Amino acid sequence: MRIKDGFLLRETAGKFIVLPLGGELDLGSLITLNETGAFLWRLMETETTKEALVEALLAEYDVEKARAEADLEALLAKMSAAGILEA
């Protein structure tokens, strides 16, 4: 999986915002990410797997594997619903 072309992550005033490139910008559908979400976004800019993302979370943050997996699933569901991910 990876981030589809046409989306950009920007940091503005300490917040991470996902912006679609081209087309009209719907401010009601903007996606914001926390620092961990932005960390995962950067990893997903190239092809990766869920397993690799979980391992990266475990290496970078003090988190239990079950929590990392659950939080990752929640983020992937949010991104998938927004049409940001390629399978």
Structural domain boundaries, residue 45: 2-86
Quote the number of domains for the chain: 1
Structure confidence by residue, pLDDT tens digits, 4-53: 998 899 998 888 999 888 766 555 557 889 999 999 999 999 999 999 99
CATH of the domain at 71: 1.10.10
Which of 26-38 are b and which e, b meaning 16 or more Cβ less than 10 Å from the residue's Cβ?
eeeeebebeebbb
Which pTM was predicted? 0.88
